[in-house]
Every structure is written in C-alpha cells, then in structure tokens.
Amino acid sequence: MGVEFRGMGLGANSGGSGSGGSRWRLRELANQEHFDWQIARRVLKAFVPYWPMAILVTLVIFLTAVGTVAPAWLTQKIIDDGILKGRVSVLTWLTLALIAAAIATGLLGVLQNWLSNLIAQNVMADYRLALFRKLQEQTVNFFASNQSGDLVSRVMNDVTAIQNVISTTLVGFMSNLLMIAVTLTLMFKMDLRMAVLAMVVVPAFVIPTQRVGRVRQKLQAEIQEWLSAMTVQLSETLGVSGALLIRMFNREQAEEKKFASANVKLRDLQVRQGLIGRWLFMWLGMFSSIGPALLWGYGGWLVIHHEMELGVIVAFTTLLAKLYGPLSQLAQVHVNVLSSIALFRRIYSVMDLETEVKSGSVTLADREVLGRIELRGVSYSYPDYDGRDERRPALREVTLTLEPGQKVALVGPSGAGKTTLLNLIPRFADPTGGCVLLDGIDSKTLSLRSLRAQMGLVPQDPFFFHDTVCNNLRVAREDATLAEMEQACRTAQIHDMIADLPDGYQTMVGERGYRLSGGERQRLAIARVLLQGPRIVLLDEATSALDTVVERKIQDALTVLLAGRTALVIAHRLSTVLAADKIVVLNEGGMVAYGKHEELLQTCPLYRELYEVQFGVRDDSRPEPETEKGGR
Ligand code: ADP
C-alpha cells in the first residue's frame, strides 16, 4: 500500500495529475481567418467609456488630413496665381500659409498621438484589471490545469499588443481613410483627367502590400506563441521548486537547449518580420516615381496645349504621395484587423471563463457562527481529461458531521480523497453530488467571503509571499498590530526565531518562504491562522518527519490552535490521531470507517494497517527525522 503523501492545490504543490480537465483548459476558437462581428462589437464596446476622447481624436485626424493636403493646393496657387502672374503679395501670403499649415499639422500630429496613446493605455489598463479579476475568481483546480506562465503572458504580452491595434488599426484606418478622401476630393476638383491617371498605378501599390500584410500577420501570430512559450519556461525554471528540480536531475543543459531553440526561433521569426518589407519597399519606391513620371508626361502635354496650368502638375505630384501611402496602408488594414481579432480572441477566452465556484448571497455575522460542519452524501469527480469519461469519482457519498469544537482526523492511503474532501469545505471546489453545510446552511448559499472568514487553513507546504514576515502575517488580518502578531507567534512557538532574524518581523521571507525551514514555515502558517482566529481549522499535516524538538513545538502550537475550534485534520502523526475526537478512514473516495482509535483498531483492518505502517508503530523503515534546517 502506498504511504506516500502528496500536497495538492492548497500549498506550493499544484497537485493534479498533469495536464488539465477540458472544462478548465483555456481553448482558442480555431478559425482565425474570418472576421468576427461579435468580437469586433465587443472591442468597440471597450472604447465606449472613452468616447469623448475618441470623437476628439477623429476631429484631430480630419484636421491633420486637411493640413497635410493643403500645401499641394497652396503650391498650385503659388505657381499659377503668384509666380506666373508676377503677384508678390499673393506669393507672400501663400508662403506664410504654407508655413502655418506645416506648423499646425505638426502640432495636430502631437495631439493625435497623445490622445490615441491615452485611449490605448486606458483600454489596456481596463483589460489587465478585468483579466486579473477573472483569474482571481478561478478555482484552485483551474491553476492546476493551466500553466501560470501562459496566463501571465495573456495578461501582459497580449494586452500590450492592444496598443498596436489601436495605433495601426483603428487610428490608422481612420486617418488613412480621411486622408484619401480629402486628397481625392482635391484631385478631382483640380483636374478630372489627371485624377484618373493618378489612379492608374494604384493596384501596383495595393496588391503587393496586401500579400506582405498577410505573411506579416502569420509571423506575428507565431512570434506571440513563441513569446508565450518562453514566458512559461522562464516562470517554471526561475521559481525555487523548478530550480531545485532542474539541479537535482542535472537538467540545466536540457533546459538551456530548450530555451536556446525557442530563442533562435524567435530571433529568426523577428529577422524575417524585419526583412519582409524589403522587396515591397523597393517595389513601392519604384512606382512612387513612375506615378509622377506619368503625370509630368501627360500633364506637360496638356500645359503645352494650354489645356491646364503648370501649377496643377506640381500639386498633383505632391498629392500622389498623400494618396499612395495611405492607400497601401489601408490595403493592410483588413490583415491588421484579422490579427487583432485573433489577439482579442485570446484575451476574451480568459474573460469568458466560467467561474466554477460562485459566491452565494447569505452573509454570516461572526458571533453567530458555531462551527458545525455537515457533509451530506458528498461526491466529487474531477472533470474529465480531454473528454474521456472513465474516471472514478475522487469522493463517493461521504456523510459526516463535525460538531462545534470537535476534532476529526482524516486518514487513508495516498489518493484516498482526503485533500479533495478538505478542499470542499472552504469551497475551493463544489461537490458534484450532495452538499456541505455550515451551521445547517448549505455552503453554496453563503457568500465566499463570509464562509472563508470562518476557516483557517494550514496546508502541508504553506505559501508565503516574497515579502516581510510582518506582511505575510497580515495576510490573515490586515489591521493586526505588532503586539498581536507577536502574541500569535509566541503561541505558535516561532516568535524567538523571528526575533533572532536580522530584521526581526521586517525580514523578507524569500520567494515562497524558502528562506525558512519546513518546520518554521509550518509554525508561521499556524501563527497566521491564530491571528485570523477562525471558528474552523483545516489542517493538512506535514508528512516530513521532524526532529523531536521541532515536532514538540509544532504539536504545542497545534494544541493551542485547535483548542475550542472545529477542526478537520489530514493526519500523518500518531499523536494527532490519538488526540482526535473521531477518526474518519477514507479509501478510494469512500468512507470505510468512523470512530475512535481503539474501536477502529479492532474493527477496521485498513486502519490497523495504516496505523502500523504509516504511523511507524510496527515499521522498520521509518524515515530518519529531519533537523530543523532541512525541513523540505
Ligand atoms: P489524498 O489527499 O487522499 O492523497 P486526493 O484527494 O489528493 O487524495 O486525490 C484523490 C483522487 O483524485 C486521486 O485519485 C487523484 O489522482 C485525483 N486527483 C487529485 N487532484 C486532482 C486534479 N486536480 N485533477 C484530477 N484528479 C485529481
């Protein structure tokens, strides 16, 4: 029988058996090639709060377009009405107007940049917050099934890419469209024949640009994927657990190889992305000279035959650049739109996650809570892996009552469902059958805040933020005073150790608390729960054997912690089992026995076996006790 124990979900170990159940996995909607109105509408909705700015930016874009095209018209007037007719005053005024137009367009450009950046940053901030909130609502199981690096990448990398969407797609679309409209209006007003001729080379700009845009979009999607893969690897290898694993199994070179190959892929993709426009630029450069050549040829012929004035040719050649540039950019807009849609799809797949554990509306006043817990026919099945429905339930119809103040020990072989059962009480997941009641109220109807406020959890491998001891304790109660924290730590037998640290309660505990030993982390976690002062304590006892001094300290701390509180303990120590009011024996998800130690020894063979092997009563292979500094 396996007597190996595994922390799950609650502590540092993410638990779960590998990849995730399909219900939790983030999935991309496959087809990225077609335009999706629903997503487009949703994207536009995100801009609604900033509509005054959006209107202003449109106005500015329009004025910029007029300001950019105006010099062409002014040039024509300078040549035809000023220079050729010898009018100095007209020449002077129009020259001043040219200068004014240049200054105004420059200033408007700055304003447009500022406004569109402001809108983009606001929308990005909104998305980041919405994603963070959504992810916070997810269950512990969700995080066991999704890579944290991928989630980080969605919240940071994908959202950052929105800026591009706004500047190239939305603002770019509007400004190009307005520019083309203003330019064409002026062209057709000046001379119909010349305008038609100017349009002849347009396809030479539009078609290749479209092609290149499509390739560029594919590259961008690939780049985004590799970036995400690298973020995942970084976040896994740069944590203490990952770093330990890599060193233990001499995986340094393998990890480096993996990173290096992703790195090379990313480099090559980015080099390709940088080079992709080379031929296009050559082509565009060629045609932007051919266009004016045609205009000079035909326009010159018209001028010679007195059918047109010279200034018109000059104006047209200036206008050409204002037409071809925006046109080729507009040709890429639909490609940009499609890649933006793909980006938003990734973001929305997180935003649309269902919240599996929904908060109820009933709130509890602290004084009224007795701490009676009842499990009525509780079953739980983890969601299927990739649609296969062969999994046996992790819990089967467990019925159990913990009276206020009662201490119940959960025992059973590894995989029996102990952690799963413990997780159902604070609603880290909801039972798939039956219900859990707190003081006779179905816990599903309670608000999560008020339910969890009644419960303190000491996981097997407690987690700490990379922060000071003090701030890690305040996680339990924000307004705790130093005196209260010290009191809790004294009770948890950890005060002396903290006081000896270089900065006392202001010492940083290190990433996940790894600067503390296993025994110290457990006692700090106990102090944290003492500070919280809940009615109910959930405890997943550490499996690692500790030396007797440390063990004694933890035992003493636990005795105080559990006194007067309802407690459900996944027990790994004989002393805990003996101290419990009742013992529940779980096996393969079912409750096989319930009673006191002596009774169970007589009546339950499984319990007897566990007692002998696990609690080391008749065991030759009991692990060597760990010393305080080697607790993990
Ligand atoms: P125990 O705490 O008694 O060792 P658990 O409650 O962790 O047992 O696990 C009970 C069963 O549920 C095991 O068969 C285990 O493989 C399965 N299980 C645990 N966590 C997950 C998960 N996140 N996804 C799917 N199955 C899981």
Cα gap 350→154, rounded to integer Å: 8
Residues facing residue 468 across a β-bridge: 508
Cβ of 15 closer than 6 Å to ligand 1, yes or no, is yes
pLDDT at 32 over 70: no
Residue 106: its pLDDT value, please? 94
The predicted model gives 36-41 an average pLDDT of: 85
Cα of 535 from ligand 1 centre, angstroms:
27
Domain ranges in the chain are 4-351, 359-454+577-632
CA-proximal residue: ligand 1, atom 7 (nearest): 419
Cα gap 26→160, rounded to integer Å: 20
Cα of 414 from ligand 1 centre, angstroms:
9
Q: What confidence tens digit (pLDDT) does each residue in 85-118 have?
A: 999 999 999 999 999 999 999 999 999 989 988 9
Query: Within a 10 A sphere around the Cβ of 159, how many other Cβ atoms?
Result: 22
The percent of residues above 70 in pLDDT, for the chain, comes to 89
Q: What confidence tens digit (pLDDT) does each residue in 313-370 have?
A: 999 998 988 888 888 888 777 777 777 787 888 888 888 888 888 888 888 876 678 8
Cβ of 8 closer than 6 Å to ligand 1, yes or no, is yes
CA-proximal residue: ligand 1, atom 12 (nearest): 394
* Residue 319: its H or E element: helix 310-351
Over the chain, what is the mean pLDDT? 83
* Residue 504: its H or E element: none
Cβ of 164 closer than 6 Å to ligand 1, yes or no, is no
Cα of 626 from ligand 1 centre, angstroms:
27
Residue 465, token pair as written in the block: 């933020």
Cα of 16 from ligand 1 centre, angstroms:
6
Point out the ligand 1 atom lying closest to the alpha carbon of residue 382: 25
* Residue 201: its H or E element: none
Q: What confidence tens digit (pLDDT) does each residue in 548-563 have?
A: 777 777 888 888 888 8
CATH code of the domain occupying 359-454+577-632: 3.40.50.300
Residue 556: its pLDDT value, please? 81
* HSE-CB of 500 using CA atoms within 13 angstroms: 6
pLDDT at 414 over 50: yes
CB 208 within 8 A of CB 280: yes
- Alpha carbon distances (Å) from 514 to 11, 180, 252, 327: 13, 62, 21, 59
Cα gap 596→97, rounded to integer Å: 98
Q: What confidence tens digit (pLDDT) does each residue in 215-246 have?
A: 887 888 788 788 888 888 888 888 778 888 88
Residue 48, token pair as written in the block: 């609604």
Cα of 61 from ligand 1 centre, angstroms:
59
Q: What confidence tens digit (pLDDT) does each residue in 501-539 have?
A: 888 888 888 766 667 888 888 889 999 999 988 999 999
Contact partners, residue 386, CB within 8 Å, separation at least 6: 22
- 341, exposed or middle or buried, with CB in 10 Å at 0-12, 13-18, 19+? buried
Q: Determine the distance from the C-alpha atom of residue 539 to the mean position of all C-alpha atoms in its chain, rounded to a whole number.
A: 30
Cβ of 109 closer than 6 Å to ligand 1, yes or no, is no
Q: What confidence tens digit (pLDDT) does each residue in 374-406 have?
A: 999 999 988 764 555 556 788 999 999 999 999
Point out the ligand 1 atom lying closest to the alpha carbon of residue 5: 4
Cα of 230 from ligand 1 centre, angstroms:
30
Residue 153, token pair as written in the block: 């990448």
Cα gap 374→437, rounded to integer Å: 5
Report the predicted TM-score, pTM, of the whole model to 2 decimal places. Answer: 0.73
pLDDT grade for 1, boundaries at 50, 70 and 90: very low
Q: DSSP readout, 371-410? A: --EEEEEEEE-PPPBTTB--PPPSEEEEEEEE-TT-EEEE
Cα of 465 from ligand 1 centre, angstroms:
26
pLDDT at 60 over 80: yes
Contact partners, residue 624, CB within 8 Å, separation at least 6: 545
pLDDT grade for 543, boundaries at 50, 70 and 90: low
CATH code of the domain occupying 4-351: 1.20.1560.10
Residue 517: its pLDDT value, please? 81
Residue 265: its pLDDT value, please? 94
Query: Within a 10 A sphere around the Cβ of 111, how many other Cβ atoms?
Result: 17
Cβ of 428 closer than 6 Å to ligand 1, yes or no, is no
The structure tokens 């991309």 sit at 28
* Residue 530: its H or E element: helix 518-532
Reported in sequence order, the residue ranges of 445-550 that DSSP labels E, i.e. its strands, are: 455-458, 536-540
Residue 514: its pLDDT value, please? 63
The predicted model gives 248-256 an average pLDDT of: 89
Q: What confidence tens digit (pLDDT) does each residue in 563-612 have?
A: 889 999 998 888 888 888 999 999 988 999 899 888 888 898 998 888 88
CA-proximal residue: ligand 1, atom 14 (nearest): 415
Point out the ligand 1 atom lying closest to the alpha carbon of residue 145: 23
pLDDT at 300 over 90: yes
Measure the CA dihedral 596/602/604/605, to 10°.
Answer: 140
Residue 30: its pLDDT value, please? 40
Nearest Cα to 133, choosing from 118, 153, 155, 150?
A: 155
Cα of 369 from ligand 1 centre, angstroms:
30
Cα of 632 from ligand 1 centre, angstroms:
22
Q: Please state at what angle helix 202-237 crosses helix 240-248, rounded to 10 degrees.
A: 80
pLDDT grade for 77, boundaries at 50, 70 and 90: very high
Residue 1, token pair as written in the block: 């029988």
Cα of 417 from ligand 1 centre, angstroms:
6
Sheet holding 395-402, edge to edge: 395-402, 373-380, 433-438, 441-442
Q: Quick one: residue 18, left, alpha or beta (phi over 0 = left, psi -120 to 50 = alpha)?
A: left
Q: Which of 23, 140, 382, 538 to mutate to test the pocket of ligand 1 (most atoms within 8 A of CB)?
A: 382
pLDDT at 132 over 80: yes
Cβ of 7 closer than 6 Å to ligand 1, yes or no, is no
Cα gap 162→341, rounded to integer Å: 10
Q: Determine the distance from the C-alpha atom of residue 141 to the mean position of all C-alpha atoms in its chain, rounded to a whole number.
A: 16
Q: What confidence tens digit (pLDDT) does each residue in 467-494 have?
A: 888 999 998 888 889 999 999 999 888 8
Cα gap 419→416, rounded to integer Å: 8
